Structure 1
Amino acid sequence: MDESGDEVTTRAGYVALVGYPNAGKSSLMNRLVEQKLSIVTPLAQTTREKVLGIDTRDGVQMVFVDTPGLVEPRYLLHRAMLHAATEVIGDSDVVLLLIDASAGIPEFSADVLELLARAKGLIAVSNKQDLARPGQQELVKHWTQERFGVDPAQVSALTGEGVDALRDEIARRLPVSPFLFPEDDVSSQPVRFFVAEFVREAAFELFEKEVPYSIAVKVDEFRETATPLYIRATIYVERPTQKAILTGQGGAAIKKLGRSAREKIEEFVGAPVYLDLWVKVLPRWRKDALQLQRFGFSIPTQEERT
């Protein structure tokens, strides 16, 4: 109820952001929640797990779910990532299908296209309007009309162009509902999760392409009562050569990575941080179901049997 005692109608629901890797899903979610929650790098497939961001304003609560890219998997980690993304499509009230208008039409599998066609509240989003040429924008529009019978919303996650109009359209499609989370929440995921993500982001920024993709990060200790806040985390890689690259001569590389990650974490938590990083070798973890589950990935049932 409002101050006058009248009943206030609110809307709330889950909004999935799906699409090809590097379509701008993470950048758009950060823009929509007006806070950096999803890590962003120029390299594709940075997002491995679902990231939740909550935006509550004007009687509407949008629970955004950033997802890994929809690609054909090459190994078990990719299958877990694809499973996470497709699972969200069926569970959400609104699905934002992001297309990088500057990169052409995505080639989704038949299964993914069928899932998208059945999705509730599908909104096609033609992103990167700041980079796309008019001909590319028209190509995206023709594809979304032909494939899904909808005109795309045109936005730029980088500049903010079209984002307010997109937010209004999402709000119209969400069901009447009480808020799902407290109004001041920005995510339902623990700080430990974001700590690990910021360490990965720093690795993507500092090292060559192969090494960041081989990394998994596990927060082993998190002392909130310590000043500065004490965090001990282990970075796992698959080969000794990758460990040597991460460590660097005399530990120079891991120190540089630690400084970059610590600054990101301090900005996120708003407090000084002591970040204690360790590097260990865990061979073939990206193809090992038990290790993936240890890192929090959900393995599709059929993969557990093979």
Structure 2
Amino acid sequence: MPRCGTVALAGRPNVGKSTLLNALVGEHLAIVAAKPQSTRVPVVGLLTRDDAQFILTDSPGLLEPEYPLHETMRDAAVRAIADADVVAYLHPLAEFPAPPFVEVARLAHAPRGAVIPVYTKADLLAPSARPAVRPSDGVVVSAVAGEGLAALLGALGARLPESPFHYDPDEIATQPLRFFAAEFVREAAFELLRQELPYSVACAIEEFRESASPVYIRATLYVERDSQKGIVIGESGRTIKALGQAARAKIETLVGQPVYLDLHVKVLPRWRRDAPSLQRLGYAPS
């Protein structure tokens, strides 16, 4: 009997959830940034191996909310944990042992799915500096080096329920291309914009013509203040041009076709703290 189920990649911000999702799926789906809290909504990747299908959910980091956007991020992470058949609890190997998951996630009770500790970023430690992690303690991985991924899939697969596959084995994601286009624009913003500005940037896809050649995408970057708009555009449009070039390259890699990315910048005051704006941008339920 095949196995199929949902695996939530969960943990505090910046523990390597998105990097691990991309490594497991073998495709760049989730934003990877040096700055924490880049994942705002769950990204779902698919991996089918032999008689097992993994529905992998890269959830936002478990943080202490400071404003309404953070609250929607935390709510999305908690829902992903509650819905999961298995929870991969990510924690940096350098900080072994991990505190109890229920404590980190601030849950009233343990999730219904099995919780497997996954110690990440093993490549950052010299072998002599690594703590002794027994198999009963969890799985040690390096998503960057590919270390421990087979062992992790083995541990996760053993806990998936017996079930027919939910998706075609060739599929790698459940969300539409326009979702990933918006995420890749935000990823470029995290790469190119300094300090705290990327946290004030949201992206909405206004038009996506996949049948056009090149694929036509019209997107709007929303910021909270006029001064931020000027920074995103840059002198003579240099910054928005560089941002568009970086995002277009990422999108073209995913869709496998040339892309024309038409970027615009608008001000949406205090959108991170405004419930209707969060709904409009897809961060909160309507």
State the TM-score bracket (shorter-chain normalisation): over 0.9
Question: Contact conserved, 1:76 with 1:286, CA < 8 A, in 2?
Answer: yes
Determine which of 131, 134, 140 is the counterpart of 1:137.
Answer: 131
Identify the range of structure 1 (170-179 vs 118-127) with the bigger mean alpha-carbon deviation. 118-127
Q: Who is 1:259 aligned against? A: 245
1:92 lines up with 2:84 in the alignment: yes
User: Which one-letter code corresponds to 1:23 in the other structure?
Assistant: V
| Residue 298 of structure 1, CA deviation | 2.7
1:57 lines up with 2:12 in the alignment: no
Q: Who is 1:37 aligned against? A: 29
User: Which one-letter code corresponds to 2:37 in the other structure?
Assistant: Q
1:75 lines up with 2:61 in the alignment: no
Q: Could you say which structure has the larger radius of gyration?
A: 1
1:123 lines up with 2:116 in the alignment: yes
Question: Contact conserved, 1:71 with 1:108, CA < 8 A, in 2?
Answer: no
Per-residue Cα deviation, 1:166-188 (whole angstroms, up to 9, x for no partner) = 10111111011010111211111
Q: Who is 1:159 aligned against? A: 145
| Residue 114 of structure 1, CA deviation | 3.8
Determine which of 215, 224, 235 is the counterpart of 2:210.
Answer: 224
Per-residue Cα deviation, 1:228-285 (whole angstroms, up to 9, x for no partner) = 1110000000011110000001111101111111111111100000000000000100
In structure 2, distance between residues paired with 1:166 and 1:75: 35
Per-residue Cα deviation, 1:82-120 (whole angstroms, up to 9, x for no partner) = 000011111110100000123565697848244573341
Are residues 107 and 153 of structure 1, via their aligned partners in 2, closer, same or farther at CA, if it must alter by over 3 Å?
Answer: closer
Question: Contact conserved, 2:9 with 2:57, CA < 8 A, in 1?
Answer: yes
In structure 1, distance between residues paired with 2:20 and 2:103: 26
In structure 2, distance between residues paired with 1:109 and 1:286: 27
In structure 2, distance between residues paired with 1:63 and 1:118: 17
Question: Contact conserved, 1:89 with 1:115, CA < 8 A, in 2?
Answer: no
| Residue 137 of structure 1, CA deviation | 3.1
- TM-score, with length taken from structure 2: 0.93
Per-residue Cα deviation, 1:130-155 (whole angstroms, up to 9, x for no partner) = 113666635xx59xx9xxxx512111
Are residues 193 and 161 of structure 1, via their aligned partners in 2, closer, same or farther at CA, if it must alter by over 3 Å?
Answer: same
In structure 1, distance between residues paired with 2:121 and 2:104: 26
Per-residue Cα deviation, 1:195-230 (whole angstroms, up to 9, x for no partner) = 000000011111102111100000000111211111
In structure 2, distance between residues paired with 1:109 and 1:154: 20
In structure 1, distance between residues paired with 2:100 and 2:272: 25
* Number of residue-to-residue matches in the alignment: 284
| Residue 297 of structure 1, CA deviation | 1.8
Are residues 76 and 218 of structure 1, via their aligned partners in 2, closer, same or farther at CA, if it must alter by over 3 Å?
Answer: same
* Percent of aligned pairs sharing the same letter: 50
Q: Secondary structure of 1:118's partner? A: coil
List runs of 5+ in structure 1 lacking aligned partners: 1-8
Q: Secondary structure of 2:220's partner? A: strand
In structure 1, distance between residues paired with 2:200 and 2:69: 11
Identify the range of structure 1 (45-54 vs 127-136) with the bigger mean alpha-carbon deviation. 127-136
Are residues 106 and 277 of structure 1, via their aligned partners in 2, closer, same or farther at CA, if it must alter by over 3 Å?
Answer: farther
In structure 2, distance between residues paired with 1:131 and 1:116: 33
User: Which one-letter code corresponds to 2:7 in the other structure?
Assistant: V
- TM-score, with length taken from structure 1: 0.87
User: Which one-letter code corresponds to 1:276 in the other structure?
Assistant: D
In structure 1, distance between residues paired with 2:260 and 2:99: 43
User: Which one-letter code corresponds to 2:11 in the other structure?
Assistant: G
In structure 2, distance between residues paired with 1:245 and 1:132: 38
- Counterparts of residues 270-281 of structure 1 (less than 5 Å): 270-281=256-267
In structure 1, distance between residues paired with 2:49 and 2:273: 42
In structure 2, distance between residues paired with 1:54 and 1:276: 30
